[in-house]
Structure 1
Amino acid sequence: MSYQFLGLDHVQLAAPAGCEEEARHFFRDVLGMPEVPKPENLRKRGGVWFQCGPQTIHIGVETPFTPAKKAHPAFVIQNMEVLMQRLTELQVEIKVNEEIPGVKRFFIDDPFGNRLEFMEVGDRS
């Protein structure tokens, strides 16, 4: 019998204690990801979850907290320019990166200093 990988269920990002409202503002209100209710038995740990396509983003409380500066999720999106314009209007610093042919991408930091990548894949030839 063999096994196979089917994909990712979620990505967890760390945040400091008491982060929930700031996470909701950023991931739900700024980025537009709907909040997903956490199972009752996990709510006491703090944090908050968001839907991102078929996957979820888990913002989990970590003490002591250190943001992820290198490891990061990469979100595949459509109409990247619209998101970039929205982030610019909200004064979120965008770092454009054009190192991969056929891939438009940029990086931002979430409110806790974690690195986030956004990419739109075109023709990679």
Structure 2
Amino acid sequence: MSIAIHHVQIAIPKGGEDKAREFYSQILLLTEVPKPPTLASRGGIWFSTGNLELHLGIDPNFSPSTKAHVAFLVDDLDGIKHRLLQYGVKVIDDHLLPGFHRFYTEDPFGNRIEILQVQEEKA
């Protein structure tokens, strides 16, 4: 039996698609993918990282997720950090996970986002 994660969904408030598009597509450089027509009327927006989809669903009782989070594994942590700071998005460095460099940030709705990179071993 094979099991893989197809997508992760987080909530955003109604009408948040444009802000989500700016953050996830323009800043984090994720690729927006069209929602199937049968689901498009629900609102929300979908993105792809290449091997995983991130679905942002509308929650009429939205409350930001400040603990549970999506973690993006990247190959240029400093580049992503610099890009976020250029757009005025705060980053919080964290060095507590052995084997990784990482930081936390928030999307425009207050949802926690982790960005991490494998720490290369020193020779």
TM-score (norm 1): 0.92
The CA deviation string for residues 14-66 of structure 1, in whole angstroms up to 9 with x for no partner, is 00001111111111111111100000000000000001121111010001111
- 1:91 equivalent in alignment to 2:88: yes
- Per-residue deviation, 1:4: 3.7
Contact 1:71 1:115 in 2 (8 A): yes
- 1:36 equivalent in alignment to 2:27: no
Residue 101 of structure 2: aligned partner: 104
CA distance in structure 1 between the partners assigned to 2:40 and 2:115 by the alignment: 29
Letter in 2 for 1:57: L
TM-score (norm 2): 0.94
CA distance in structure 2 between the partners assigned to 1:105 and 1:13 by the alignment: 21
The structure 2 residue matched to 1:121, chosen from 113, 118, 122, is: 118
Secondary structure, aligned partner of 2:62: coil
Q: Could you tell me which runs of 5 or more consecutive residues in structure 2 were left unpaired when the two chains were aligned.
A: none
**5 Å matches for 1:60-71?**
60-71=57-68
> What RMSD, in angstroms, separates the aligned Cα atoms of the two structures?
1.4
Stretches (4+) displaced over 6 A: none
The structure 2 residue matched to 1:14, chosen from 11, 16, 20, is: 11
Q: Could you tell me which runs of 5 or more consecutive residues in structure 1 were left unpaired when the two chains were aligned.
A: none
Contact 1:48 1:60 in 2 (8 A): yes
- 1:27 equivalent in alignment to 2:24: yes
> Is 114-123 or 32-41 further displaced after alignment?
114-123
